[in-house]
Amino acid sequence: MDYAATREQALARIAQAQDLGALESLRVEFLGKQGSISGLLKTLGGMSAEDRLVVGPQIQALREAVSDALTARKAALEGAALEAQLASETLDLTLPAPEAPRGTVHPVSQVMDELAEIFADLGFAVATGPEIEDDWHNFTALNIPESHPARAMHDTFYFPDQMAADGTRMLLRTHTSPVQIRAMLQQGAPIRIIAPGRVYRSDSDATHTPMFHQVEGLVIDKGIHLGHLKWTLETFLKAFFEREDIVLRLRPSYFPFTEPSVEVDVGFALVNGKRVLGGSGDAPGHGWMELLGSGMVGRKVIEAGGLDPDEWQGFAFGVGVDRLAMLKYGMDDLRAFFDGDVRWLQHYGFSPLDVPTLSAGVGVRP
Amino acid sequence: MKFSATWLKDHLDTEASVEEISAKLNAIGLEVAGIENPADKLAGFKVAKVLTAAPHPNADKLQVLTVDAGTSEPLQVVCGAPNARAGMVGVLGLAGAIVPGGGFELKKSAIRGVESNGMMCSVRELELGDEHDGILELPEDAPVGMTFAEYHGADPVFDVAITPNRPDCMGVHGIARDLAAAGLGTLRPIAAQAVPGGFPCPMPIRTDDAEGCPAFYGRVIRGVKNGPSPKWLQDRLKSAGQRPISALVDITNYVMLTYGRPAHAYDLAKLSGAIFARRAKEDETCLALNGKEYTLTSRMTVIADDNGVHDIAGIMGGEHSGCADDTTDVLLEVAYFDPVRIGQTGRALNLTSDARQRFERGVDPAFLDAGLALLTDLIVGICGGEPSEPVFAGQPPITPKLVRYDPAMAERLGGVAIPEAQQRATLSALGFAILRDAADAAPQDSREWRVTVPSWRPDVDGAPDLVEEVVRIHGLDNIASAPLPRADGVARPTATPAQKLERKLRRAAAARGINEAVTWSFLPEAEADLFAEGNGGLWVLQNPISEDMKAMRPSLLPGLLAAVQRNLDRGASGLRLFELGRRYLRGQAGASDERLTLGLVLAGEKTPRGWASGKASSFDAFDAKAEAMALLAEAGAPVDNLQVMGEAGPQFHPGQSATLRLGPKTVLARFGMLHPALLKAFDIDVAVAAVELFLDAIPARKAADFARPHYAPPALQAVKRDFAFLVDAALPAGDLVRAIKGCDKANVVAVRLFDDFRGQGVPEGQKSLAVEVTLQPGEKSYDEAELKAISERVTGAAAKLGAVLRG
């Protein structure tokens, strides 16, 4: 028998099979139980050993070639079918993908986190106090008696007929300084804290809002002096603005709760009409900007905090958080901070993943 | 406090420039708010001589001048002034100069066909006065070509902000004293010569309110001639921003601005009987110099005569008894008023004045005699007249203050070593007297000085004040930065658990696509009232800045809703906002109870219309629940154990809101759709889902260690079984899930509700709930008997709730 001819014929028919059904028919025809090649294999049983030795391998080779051809053709047909299917599934990928809303962290919160991070490195904890305060903590304990002209400097919001336990009037704190008193009374000394939070003054224009944010700093220890205050403020501002060329100008001033009192200006350059911190304010094209108030904590204040002013001394400072945010991140209208305009929040807000860290730098560049 | 450089130099002998003076003022704590230099306004104006003057060829009233202004060639100028003539010297404004009196810029131009290179100026054009009849004529020897600013001696004006502790610097002389102490020149002493009186004071003077007015000095000057004050005095007052009125008034103002010593001059003819200080009677009125009538109380001190009140003591004089042009006899009042009383009166009347500012801060109680002498001397010198003998009623409270001071304290507190000699010089220059120093101190180990405080420094009462004095005069710039001692190693964590919770929740909410807002702590009272229910009363401000900012918020939601409304007005269609801040409740014994809270609102469209989904979708109560659960999970609350209960509050949709509780009482959060009536009150016309998370109610995490409970993923695969139950339609699905979860804790690890169906095949009043129960085998796989037993436990637990397994 001419196995070669059988083989050629079978392979040709397999190659011509156009779909998987036709291919399956051919498989049954050749290799099925009643198939032609299966029939040939069955003839081996009736052969002599010598013939079987000669014919057997030929039939086996035939079967194998057909089987391989069937498999290969099947793969080719399946591949083509998949290609055709995929070709029908083409998408227009210029269509927009589903949008996930982008959430933001408010600049005030971000800056407060930045402050906490910087001051944690300097050993400061974050302290808080009530915003609805009593007169004693907000004024009297800070050496601002009822008659003191300095009270006229604070446009205070009061609550009518709301008396604290000590009989004094309740009010909205005008500064974060009452936290100084609370911290001293609660923790004793030594102390290193910052106290960020909301403060209130009856004032409203483009740069003043009746509510704003302040951060208080307080260090009470032994042997603390103005040089430490200066270093702390320089170190903080350099870290906050990530600039080594921050220059401070200290000016004597007056706050009832510090003695000596120091107003701190920071040098800036005018760049395209915007104030960019850095350099001495006396340099050409530069100026000084009032940034914060500070001083050595007054003896009466330390006493009000339950500490012995002959043993403990220290410094305090206060600075506007919103102001720091505006200077660093370039907003120019304080009122927008408290409007909740999503367009503004989307523009000036921060990604939740921008967690301030010292290793990455506490600032976020756009 | 404004004053000219000339005025300052009346008291300070100095060669320092304006810039040097300004820098030094800043350095010693007298903040320069601004310097006004009239020379700046006169830039481009020069002294010029008219060489020739000829009629204008095309205009009758104009002349064509050639003018020498020091330039190489004479300039041709067209001029309309009738007094312009050859040989006169005047002021030429060159092209480019801006005319102070008109604000316009001069340009080279042709006037009626004749070129003009500038303008000869009138007094009014140079803003030196009102005259405008012709051009300003200068003396013939005025140096031609000199800038007019230099010729005129334009006098720069300092505007200095005086802190409330420095009444002594509310006068030019005190500022000069500070500058002299800082080495900027020599202080010229005050030349106060007592002027003897020629006759007894005809007016009885007394104080009936020794508390409010401990001292009232005065005298009469008769036969004065009032009128305009001399130019030198007017110039000084003008530099202070004051309008000259008449010599008598100007002199009292001048003494106040120069020495910080307010005084008052009455027209004697308008007084009757005696003049005295007393308490005002209740509801007594005084028509003050500002034209306003003030109603007084018995807590206020006034100066009165037998007929009534003439002066709100130390604050403002009366309209009826002041000096006028026809005044011939004056009564001078130089008094000391109690600073506290002045402050209270001024605040109560809402009346400020230069006098109040000074008395309130505390004028020098030892300067009454000198003040009276200076006033008398000036009045007699300028207005003539004959002074009476002075009357001294009462005693000013002069209590010498002694401060013990260790000069080493300058370094201990100020951080800068200042030699003792320098400290002594500074303190002396500022008027302090050092009674005894270390050299003659009895105890050898005492380094303390005894320093007497000058009477004009009420602010100084302790050693730190003296440190401030020597350090500020030495210069704060000389203080070297000193690093704070720091603990070894890496900085320790400082945040409290509450702070960590707040930070985490903030970023978790933002990570879920929500924008953090910061809204006002105060609300319109009506809006606050809508949320006050159950909050124990509102904190309502006595003096709100507006009605919209009156009541402290009892909830975070109203502020966010107001923000939602504003955003919707601006065209936003979907909003996700949250805020993390305090609610203000009433606490114990009048104290404030401020609770950290997270408010969150989801308003309008959840997803906008899209090519894939078609229509826009809206937020629903489950969106609020999802946020509440996710944030509580981040906060570490045991979310699997929370109960969903009602009573979210009347602000919410009664059927689409709930509270999340830990146990029946502890409410961790409330969430759901807001009530349409509430939204209407906020003028919001879209549905709003809201969450309020009460951070103070969330239990703190207890773990002290970082290690987590041991866990190894089970080796055997979990088995899932579905069950469908018919239950009463009112049964909360959560109850069924909870019952099944709890029926076999060894094997049931999860129960997921995947179908809630009512309708065909389900009897009326019932619903079908289908759950997928996940079973986790332990050591070995389940056999049929075990699975059957677990299934029976599941159906048994469900049956207790009336649930029937569907066939």
| C-alpha distance from B611 to closest chain A C-alpha (Å) | 8
The pLDDT tens digits for B23-68 are 999 999 999 999 988 777 788 888 999 988 888 888 888 889 889 8
Residue B318 CA to residue A262 CA, distance in Å, equals 41
Q: CA-to-CA distance for A121 and B486, rounded, in angstroms?
A: 9
The enclosing domain of B213 has a CATH number of 3.50.40.10
Do the beta carbons of residue B252 and residue B289 sit within 8 Å?
no
Q: Let me know if residue B611 belongs to a domain.
A: yes
Q: How many CB atoms lie within 10 A of CB A72?
A: 12
Closest C-alpha among B794, B463, B155 to residue A299: B463
Confirm whether B195 is domain-assigned. Answer: no
DSSP for B210-238, written as a single string: TTT-SEEEEEEEES----PPPHHHHHHHH
Quote the tokens at residue B657: 């809101």
The DSSP bridge pattern shows strands B401-405 and B719-728 to be unpaired
Residue B588 token pair: 């114990």
Contact A149 B507 (CB under 8 A): no
Does the pLDDT of residue A166 top 90, yes or no?
no
Query: What tokens were used for B131?
Result: 């005259």
DSSP string of B326-381, one letter each residue: T--EEEEEEEE--HHHHHHHHHHHT---HHHHHHHH---TT-HHHHHHHHHHHHHH
Quick one: B111 and B224 in the same domain? no
Q: Is residue B47 part of a domain?
A: yes
Does residue A238 belong to the interface with chain B, where contact is any CB pair within 8 Å?
no
CA distances from B416 to A35, A224, A249, B298, B409 (A): 111, 12, 16, 51, 9
Of B367, B394, B421, at which residue does a domain stop? B394
Verify that B535 and B438 share a domain, yes or no: no
CB contact at 8 A, B106 and B94:
yes
Place of tokens 């939601």: B557
Residue type, A288: W
Is residue A190 reached through a cis peptide bond, with omega within 30 degrees of 0 on the bond before it? yes
**Position of tokens 């320092």?**
B16
Is A125 near chain B, with CB under 8 Å?
yes
Among the ranges given (A164-168, A264-268, B185-189, B747-751), the one the predictor scored with the smallest mean pLDDT: A164-168
> Do B592 and A126 lie within an 8 Å CB cutoff?
no
Residue A307, pLDDT score: 96
* Interstrand relation of A258-271 and A274-277 (parallel, antiparallel or unpaired): antiparallel
- Among the candidates B376, B394, B412, a domain finishes at B394
Query: Which positions in chain B touch A230 (Cβ < 8 Å)?
Result: 415, 479-482
pLDDT at residue B320, as a whole number: 85
Please tell me the distance from the alpha carbon of residue B120 to that of residue B46, in angstroms, as a whole number: 10
What does the alpha-carbon distance between residue B64 and residue B112 come to, in Å, rounded to a whole number?
11
Instruction: Assess contact for B671 and B648: CB atoms under 8 A.
Output: yes
**pLDDT given at position A35:** 85
Q: Is the dihedral of CA B675, B678, B682, B683 positive or negative?
A: positive
| CATH fold label, A107-348 | BirA Bifunctional Protein; domain 2 (3.30.930)
Give, for A107, the enclosing helix (H) or strand (E): helix A107-121
Do B6 and B52 belong to one domain? Answer: no
Alpha carbons B112 and B61: distance in angstroms, whole number: 12
**B516 CB near a chain A CB, below 8 Å?**
yes
Q: From the CA of B215, how many Å to the nearest CA of chain A? A: 20
Residue count (chain A): 366
Q: How many CB atoms lie under 10 A from the CB of residue B146?
A: 15
Amino acid making up residue B74: P
Residue A132 has pLDDT above 80, yes or no: yes
Assigned domain for B162 exists = yes
Chain B: nearest CA to A325, how far in angstroms? 14
User: Residue B436: its pLDDT value, please?
Assistant: 65
Mean pLDDT calculated for residue range A60-75: 89
Bridge partners, residue B266, by sequence: B322, B331
Mean pLDDT confidence for A240-253:
94
Query: Looking at the structure, do residues B147 and B163 belong to the same domain, yes or no?
Result: no
pTM of the model: 0.86
Strands A125-126 and A191-200: parallel
Whether residue B340 lies inside any domain: the answer is yes
Task: Identify the band that residue A154 occupies on the pLDDT scale cut at 50, 70 and 90.
Answer: low
Angle at A24 between CA A19 and CA A28, to 5 degrees: 150
Minimum-distance CB partner of A346 among B361, B482, B515 = B515
CA dihedral A44→A49→A50→A56, nearest 10 degrees, is 30
The three-state (H, E, C) secondary structure of A274-305, written as one string: EEEECECCCCCCEEEEEEEEEEEECHHHHHHC
Q: 3-state DSSP call for residue B657? A: strand
Provide the CATH number for the domain around residue B732.
Answer: 3.30.70.380
Give the CA angle between residues A261, A263, A266 to the nearest 5°. 150
Q: Are residues B461 and B574 in the same domain?
A: no
Sort out which chain A residues have CB atoms less than 8 A from B340's CB and list them. 147
Q: Beta-carbon neighbour count of residue B206 at 10 Å? A: 15
Domain of B757 in residue numbering reads as: 719-805
Contact criterion met (CB < 8 Å) for A226 and B476: yes
Residue of B380, B592, B31 whose CA lies nearest to A164: B592
Order of strands across the sheet that contains B804-805: B748-757, B766-775, B719-728, B804-805
A positions 179-218 inside 8 Å of B (CB): 192, 198, 200, 202-204, 210-211
SS3 B753: strand
Residue B48: strand pairing partners: B90
* Residues on chain B touching A138 (C-beta within 8 angstroms): none
Tokens of residue A251, six digits: 């000016």
Q: pLDDT higher for A46 or B456?
A: B456
Q: Considering only CA atoms, which of A47, A53, A66, A50 is closest in space to residue A3?
A: A66
pLDDT tens sequence across A272-285: 888 899 999 999 99
Q: How does strand B804-805 pair with strand B748-757?
A: unpaired
B121 located within any domain: yes
**Dihedral (C-alpha) A49, A51, A56, A62: value to the nearest 10 degrees?**
-170
CATH code, domain with B83: 2.40.50.140
Q: Supply the pLDDT for residue B761.
A: 87
- Among B477, B512, B538, identify where a domain stops: B477
Closest CA to B674 of B748, B599, B612, B736: B599
Secondary structure (3-state) at A317: strand
Would you call A137 exposed, middle or buried from its count of C-beta atoms within 10 A (0-12, 13-18, 19+)?
A: buried
Ordered by start, the domain boundaries in chain A are 3-83, 107-348
Task: Kindly determine whether residue A231 and residue B481, on different chains, have CB atoms separated by under 8 Å.
Answer: yes
- Counting as low any pLDDT under 50, the low residues of chain B are 441
CATH number of the domain encompassing residue B15: 3.30.56.10
Distance CA A33, CA B482 (A): 99
Q: Select the residue from B340, B459, B504, B515 to test the A interface by mutation, using most A Cβ atoms within 10 A.
A: B515
Disruptive mutation site among B459, B477, B541, B565 for chain A (greatest number of A CBs within 10 Å)? B541
Please report whether residue B712 resides in a domain: no
CB of B309 within 8 A of CB of B320?
A: no
CB–CB of B518 and A152 under 8 A?
A: no
B135 and B54, same domain (yes or no): yes
Residue B283, class by beta-carbon neighbours within 10 Å (0-12 exposed, 13-18 middle, 19+ buried)?
exposed
Question: Does residue B661 share a domain with residue B560?
Answer: yes
Beta bridge partners of B334: B217
Given B340, B482, B564, which is nearest A227 (Cβ)? B482
**Same domain, residue pair B137 and B178:** no
* Cβ–Cβ under 8 Å, residues B313 and B337: yes
Three-state SS annotation for B485-543:
CCCCCCCCCCCCHHHHHHHHHHHHHHHCCCEECCCCCEECHHHHHHHHCCCCCCCECCC
**Total number of domains in chain B:** 6
Q: Do B482 and A345 touch (CB under 8 A)?
A: no
> Which chain A residues contact residue B591 at CB under 8 A?
130, 134, 164-165
Within 8 A by CB and 6+ apart from A170, the residues are A132, A133, A134, A135, A158, A159, A162, A163, A164, B539, B590, B592
pLDDT in tens, B472-490: 999 999 999 999 998 888 9
Interval A214-237 mean pLDDT: 96
Contact B202/B388 with Cβ under 8 angstroms? yes
Statement to judge: residues B444 and B575 lie in one domain: no
Pair B429, B364 in one domain: no
**Residue in A95, A109, A192 nearest the CB of B516:** A109
Pair (B581, B691) in one structural domain: yes
First to last CA, chain B: 95
C-alpha separations of A178 from A137, A170, A316, B208 in Å:
5, 13, 12, 41
pLDDT, position A162:
58
Partner-chain residue, chosen from B509, B515, B544, that has the shortest CB–CB distance to A345: B515
Q: Do B513 and A101 touch (CB under 8 A)?
A: yes
The answer to whether residue B492 is domain-embedded is no
Say yes or no: B341 and B408 in one domain: no
A91 touches chain B (CB under 8 A): no
Beta strands in B675-728 (DSSP E): 688-694, 719-728
Interchain proximity A158–B540, CB inside 8 Å: no
